[in-house]
Structure 1
Amino acid sequence: MPAVPSGGRQVRRLSFDGESGVVPLARDFARQALYAWGWLPAASADQRAAAEDVLLVVSELVTNACLHAEGPDQMEIACDNKVIHIEVSDRGTGQPAPRTPHRAGRPGGHGMFIVQRLCLDWGVVRVPGVAGKRVWAELGAPA
């Protein structure tokens, strides 16, 4: 299992201000964090799958901010010994939700369905009087 230094929770933040190519940028940033926290290189197939799930969720949350909220402002990724917490902030007013009914054969519309399936939990945080929202998701550490 990946080890986190005795300080407990490790947090990294990425600002997207003025950046282009934000989805690959976010994936690279998350991948670097996973290496720093010992999730990569993976010692087992389960650990490799857990790391790939984290990168997929990062891609989906950032892509949704691009498609539905004029792009992301910031991403935060945090880790303790049990959970990876991913949070993407944007200025959008929409409410992300898995499309229902989910139609696996159709292109598009799978992002939040994927997040819902891979994550322990996810949600949206809004601050009254502040534009935008933070969409977060949590994934469990591999055994």
Structure 2
Amino acid sequence: MDQRGPSDRTWSLRLSGTTDVVSRSRDFTRRALIAWHWLPGVGDNGREAAEDVLLLVSEVVANACLHGGGPRALVLDCSAERLRIEVTDGNPAPPVRVPARGPNAREQPGGHGLLIVERLARRWGSESGSDGKRVWCEVAWPPGIRLPGQA
């Protein structure tokens, strides 16, 4: 079930009890980006920014699947300065970056999710609570794309 917030600037998707959560989250995010005019994109910058957002969503949702007991919700929240991606899960332990695994690390799958998030996001972090955590990351709002609700 998806919901839109005030002025369509906040979109949320409940993921608890669903299957194929990474694909569902990417599809949901793609619909939001289309509604916000990131796609098909305003030039190459909008298209590249949208691809980065889709990859970030994939990574934080997949991390919640692998390490957080499964994602509970995805929230996309935009402002004039940034788009914030938030994923909640039931594990209060903060995310842990996997240390470098030596010269052959590139040949080994997995363990690169937070590295991707660090490289693509302007900022990221997590907030733990008694019933789980929220992992969030932010990207800059692309120039030339109007916010939802702007004339």
Q: TM-score range by the shorter chain?
A: 0.7 to 0.9
In structure 1, the gaps of 5 or more residues are 1-6
1 CA distance for matches of 2:125 and 2:112?
16
In structure 2, the residue matched to 1:140 is: 140
In structure 2, the residue matched to 1:72 is: 71
In structure 1, the residue matched to 2:131 is: 131
In structure 1, the residue matched to 2:3 is: none
In structure 2, the residue matched to 1:116 is: 118
Give the partner amino acid of 1:98.
Answer: R
1:8 deviates by 7.3
Matched length: 135
Q: TM-score, normalised by structure 2?
A: 0.83
Q: Confirm or deny: 8 A CA contact 1:73 1:88 kept in the other structure.
A: yes
Deviations 1:74-119 (A, max 9, x none): 1100112221100000001332132222633321101010000000
SS of the counterpart of 2:106? coil
SS of the counterpart of 1:50? helix
2 CA distance for matches of 1:32 and 1:104?
33
Q: TM-score, normalised by structure 1?
A: 0.87
Report the CA distance shift for 1:8/1:120 in structure 2 as closer, same or farther (over 3 A).
farther
Moved more, 55-64 or 80-89: 80-89
Aligned CA-pair RMSD: 1.7
In structure 2, the gaps of 5 or more residues are 1-5, 144-151
Show the 5 A alignment for 1:1-143. Answer: 10-101=9-100, 103-127=105-129, 130-143=130-143
1:51 deviates by 0.2
Q: Confirm or deny: 8 A CA contact 1:23 1:63 kept in the other structure.
A: yes
